[in-house]
Chains A and B, each alone.
Chain A
Amino acid sequence: MIGRLAPVVGPEPGPLLPLRVEGLVVEAAGRRLLDGLSFTLEAHRCTVVLGPNGAGKSLLLRVLHGLVAPDRGRLRRADPDPLRRRLAQAFVFQKPVLLRRSVRGDLAVALAARGVPRRERRARITEALALVGLEGFERRAARTLSGGEQQHLALARAWALRPQLLLLDEPTASLDPAATRRVEAILADLRARGVTIVMSTHDLGQARRLAQDVLFLWGGRLVEAAPASRFFAGPEGREARAFLAGELPD
């Protein structure tokens, strides 16, 4: 998986968005995990991916970040250069992976991977930690942080990379209500700074608070792609209506 990825060095990324997804298919063992998805991500918007367990949300995010290669279909970015476009994205996993290093060391590896010069790293680290309220944590062993703090650190790390497109897989799934609100505030702040956000969540309240667009997945298919206001006011399909009502369609 790692071997397929392009090296990351070099120039500042060009514009990445809009990102057009066309006829995306991912299969495994003869099953279509993602079945012909087509949609467009516009710049500076927050898109929330909704759907029940196993609908394909995590998989879709992985494909968008190039961690899984689609079997069919394609992603068309405004900037066609694969090397530059990877520079412009960052991913936050549901369960953050932290290195066996200090907080600063963990962030430094990510920055080094993106070719951020050494003299610039410290300032970026300080700023990113301040963003998530982890000032003064630089020298702590990253993995001794609490679950919530680790999630904040993962977010800080992603922000330190200055992505144009930030992908998050259930970023608040393991957080208490206060920490959840705090992450939401950070995400709103990032969007105000021009970062395009795509995230999955099971928290419908959160989706209402953050989403401008909604992608609703059901069994690997994109059954609804709509502005959030329209989606929450009354989705068209019965799957989405049932999902919002918290029941299962037959």
Chain B
Amino acid sequence: MSEIGDAAATAFRLLLAADPELLAIVALSLVVSLGATALAALLGLPLGALLAIAGFPGRGLLVLLVDTGMGLPPVVVGLLVYLLLSRAGPLGEFGLLFTPTAMVIAQTVLVTPIVAALARSAVADLLEDYREHLASLGIRTLATVPILLWDARYRLAAACLAGFGRAAAEVGAILIVGGNIRGHTRTMTTAIALETGKGALAQALALRFVLLLVVLAVNLAVPGLARAARRIEG
């Protein structure tokens, strides 16, 4: 009990003193997860919109793949990206394994299906509602894309937030491709997962507190978005 109490006290001191190592870990975590979310948005939003709007052969299969991809276990993604990036793998020559870049790639793979699937259902719902009206205005399929994306903006933002929440909280993928190297690829989740038992309890506790705050912020932002959406969407 007193050990945990001491650790908690130390954790608070670390937080209050803005311990540099702690800050570096938090910063790396945010950079990796935000970077992955940004890339996933760049790939997943257009992909989702395309799947909702366009009809093309193989679309049904792609929808199934994306929906399945939503539930991919992080360790599976980690292993996949590990194999791609390892020295013998197809992308081995770039020497990316155990770098933050590898972690961004892994989380992008993890999050893109989430963003794409949520974007697809958001745009598809909207299109069902709008289809006849847009057709009656004589708007071509391609020209409906910006209208649909804009009108679905709150749900699309929520999709990105869901993706970020998933990235920020996962440990399996970045652990496998990043390796939890101190001062280089150690993030909040990998540190919490691996350092708790090694006398770094205080640091792990402090990180857990920060991570909780991040998750809390995400979960506060989602209903905030919904409220904003209701105001304009009615």
Contacts and interface: CB of A to CB of B under 8 A. Distances in A.
Given A100-B233, A101-B151, A5 B130 contact: no
A141 B138 contact: no
Interface string B123-154: 00010011111111111110110010011000
Contact of B129 (A65, A97, A141): A97
Nearest to B133: A97
B138 A6 contact: yes
Contact of B132 (A7, A97, A99, A110): A97
Contacts of B130: 97, 99
Contacts of B143: 7, 113
A65 B136 contact: yes
A144 B234 contact: yes
22 contacts: A1-B131, A1-B132, A3-B55, A5-B139, A5-B140, A6-B138, A7-B138, A65-B136, A90-B136, A97-B132, A97-B133, A99-B147, A100-B233, A101-B150, A101-B151, A102-B232, A113-B134, A113-B137, A114-B137, A141-B232, A142-B234, A145-B234
Contacts of A101: 150-151, 232
Interface of B: 55, 126, 129-141, 143-144, 147, 150-151, 229, 231-234
B151 A99 contact: yes
Given A1-B131, A113-B138, A145-B234, 8 more contacts: A5-B138, A87-B138, A99-B133, A99-B147, A100-B229, A101-B232, A113-B137, A143-B234
A100 B136 CA distance: 17
Given A93-B133, A109-B147, A2 B139 contact: yes
A2 B141 contact: yes
A6 B135 CA distance: 10
A200 to B, nearest CB: 15
Nearest to A92: B136
A8 interface: yes
Nearest 6 A-B pairs (CB), nearest first?
A: A143-B234, A97-B133, A144-B234, A8-B138, A100-B233, A91-B136
A2 B133 contact: no
Contacts, number: 72
* Residue from A5, A6, A91 having most chain B Cβ neighbours under 10 A: A5
Nearest to A4: B135
A128 B135 CA distance: 21
A7 B140 contact: yes
Contact of A5 (B55, B135, B229): B135
Contacts of A67: 132, 135-136
Contacts of A141: 231-234
A86 B136 CA distance: 9
A145 B144 CA distance: 24
Contact of A2 (B129, B135, B229, B234): B135
A87 B137 CA distance: 9
A6 B147 CA distance: 18
B136 A8 contact: no
A47 B132 CA distance: 23
A100 B232 contact: yes
Contacts of A2: 131, 134-135, 139-141, 144
Contacts of B135: 1-2, 5, 67
* Residue from B132, B144, B147, B229 having most chain A Cβ neighbours under 10 A: B132
* Residue from B134, B136, B137, B150 having most chain A Cβ neighbours under 10 A: B136
A97 B131 CA distance: 9
Contacts of B126: 100
Interface string A82-115: 0000110011010001011110000001100110
